[in-house]
Structure 1
């Protein structure tokens, strides 16, 4: 399978590994992105990488709590300029209000809901907004938490929207705790909320990677497989610490985990808090954008030619 300069660039962004190593990884694995990531990890060059690309698209990710209902939405536009206009921002906030109030099952159901302050539906309002803003607008996704205690956080004016859902006891106000957890999620984007969510397949894959890394280490290569597997099993706590929210070091105080911070902060307020769920939307996450500079890509490809 052939690969392009764009593929090498994408792999570099996903793994934070140098260009030449990324090119070699793709060459060794016939251009297969997932296998190239695994190859880099086995060589000890890359940590766990998300397999979904994160090519930016414009628009806004927004989270809010309306009448006790937590909502997070993503609405896309064509340019950063349009997505920052008051008209677009107000439209996104109105969509969040509709989701909170009407509990639509999906995007199509949402489009059939009445738009706030209008006789039009959301679907009928979209072309009205398109005419005024002058760009295509798409409601991409939403999530809603009607139960428990929700806390919303919006990072960088709509680059990331996070909604955290907590079970709170003791009549305490857990807003600060929820916001701290949401900020942690926005910053580190954990793969799992808790180590109990990590499947056996994922654990087996991680242990396989760790054993392969030892195979490529001069000091460890000669050790028996049984010993390597035992060492790999012992290192899984580090995987949990890096990939699971509640086991991660708390950003504001690295001496405690997020779970320890949450429990101690709630106790200090005279109650208790249990993490239930969360949603993190990043603007443009996974959306492929058309390459704007084909000539530059061709030049880059030529520069990377064997």
Structure 2
């Protein structure tokens, strides 16, 4: 069995927000398999072990661009070390310029984007100049370029830390903006059930089965219970099945149908999503929890 290190425990705690000792037990039970340990915590602790997924793990902003005819758009995430720098006007201008370059020049990757120029300077030169001026590291992380089937609308939240873009066919501007706002608030993983990755569905099924067994449900009911859990999960994470944020009595799909509209696609960037965030003082946290366990 692989040795369970403090770093492994720390990584699992940051991913799941579960108690440190529970993370260690899960890693031991999973023989060091991180994904399996995460599932064990989900089974044991339920949603408590999943809440860190919505936590932003790095600073920065999302640059957003939509053409005047709303047929072409882009999202571009730029990271910084602190929120203070993310609010700097030059940093914001760099992110917005980068998003426009993505839309208009269609670069193949970050390296190609970095080489494109704004007013005679490459985006990379602008970045390094800002790093030298401000004294803080900055990086270009990811982008997406969108050619609309219908027309684009966007919603930006939290100082440009969350940016949603929707490609709407039919309906009106208010509807498109409301759906973009819903996406930013509810963070769906796919448009409908067909877009949810099979491995994610299978993971939810395994977790539901284990939870049903641990709660003592009869074996002949376990599969049925798991299937119900998967169906509930798919409703929660698919845009068209989510209750609309401004009227939870109807789903987004029902709202669109009532307006004679369809959503061709949507795109969502959350700054720092998936980037490990530095622990404030992991050693102090360990010492405090050990001391607390001795007093118990």
- TM-score, normalised via structure 1 length: 0.81
What is the aligned partner in structure 2 of residue 194 from structure 1? 192
Identify if the C-alpha distance between structure 1 residues 263 and 64 changes in structure 2 by more than 3 Å, giving closer, same or farther.
Answer: farther
What is the aligned partner in structure 1 of residue 256 from structure 2? 262
Identify if the C-alpha distance between structure 1 residues 144 and 50 changes in structure 2 by more than 3 Å, giving closer, same or farther.
Answer: farther
Unaligned regions of 5+ residues in structure 2, if any? none
What is the aligned partner in structure 2 of residue 228 from structure 1? 222
Flag the structure with higher helix content. Answer: 2
Residue of 78, 81, 84 corresponding to 1:78: 81
Matched, 1:284 2:272: yes
Decide whether the 8 Å contact of 1:41 with 1:48 is kept in 2: yes
Which structure has more relative contact order (CA 8 Å, sep 6+)? It is 1
Identify if the C-alpha distance between structure 1 residues 126 and 248 changes in structure 2 by more than 3 Å, giving closer, same or farther.
Answer: same
Query: Which secondary structure does the structure 2 equivalent of 1:71 belong to?
Result: strand
Query: Which secondary structure does the structure 1 equivalent of 2:117 belong to?
Result: coil
Unaligned regions of 5+ residues in structure 1, if any? none
Q: Shift of residue 36 of structure 1?
A: 2.0
- TM-score, normalised via structure 2 length: 0.83
Q: Shift of residue 90 of structure 1?
A: 1.5
Matched, 1:144 2:164: no
CA RMSD of aligned residues (A): 3.0
What is the aligned partner in structure 2 of residue 176 from structure 1? 174
Cα shift readout 1:207-226 (whole Å, capped 9, x = no counterpart): 332222221123x1xx244x
Provide the C-alpha distance between the structure 2 equivalents of 1:249 and 1:159, rounded to a whole number of angstroms: 23
Further displaced range: 101-110 or 44-53: 44-53
Matched, 1:113 2:116: yes
**How many pairs are equivalent?**
289
Provide the C-alpha distance between the structure 1 equivalents of 2:265 and 2:227, rounded to a whole number of angstroms: 28
Query: Which secondary structure does the structure 1 equivalent of 2:179 belong to?
Result: helix
